[in-house]
Amino acid sequence: MSSIDPAHSAIQFSVRHMMFAKVRGRFGSWNADLSLEPDELVKSAVEATIDASSIDTGVADRDKHLRSADFLDVENYPQIRFKSTAVEKSGDKYRVKGDLTIRATTRPVTLEVETLGTGKDPWGNQRMGLAARASINRKDFGLSWNQALETGGVLVGEEIQVEIETEVVLSAA
């Protein structure tokens, strides 16, 4: 059984602010059950749960707003979930298809995954690096709050870029 090393892994995101700037953030608390087949990654599966209240953009007032009913509504929907449904090879990369649930709304999402290499750590454990990326439309999940700008456009972009970096322990020494 493989396990994700949380000290060397992260779930991050970015979204446009005022149409021209980017706000970046991360989720500090999450876990994932991973069934990884290193020699045949298409036979792998993942199920992840994110603590929605662990959202962190580095600005306390913004994070409070993101936790509110305008966005994640963590009081009523404390978790964000992803469960893979298929893994496909695409050239030297992979596509992990799955169901993403935010605020009790489930939509299909495809993660574009790249393998970053394998190696033994100083303690004899075999590890693998993976990077995954996806773009989701927040309105698809009921996150529709926004504010029109005087100069045109809106305060918060609709497309959220998700980036996941993981270091997986394939075998323990």
Domain ranges of the chain: 3-171
pTM, to two decimals: 0.91
pLDDT digits (tens, 9 = 90+) for 35-56: 988 888 999 999 999 999 999 9
Q: How far is CA 142 from CA 21, 43, 114, 129, in A?
A: 23, 32, 30, 33
CATH value of 3-171 in 2.40.128.110, 3.50.50.60, 3.40.640.10, 2.60.120.620 = 2.40.128.110
pLDDT of the residue at 171: 74
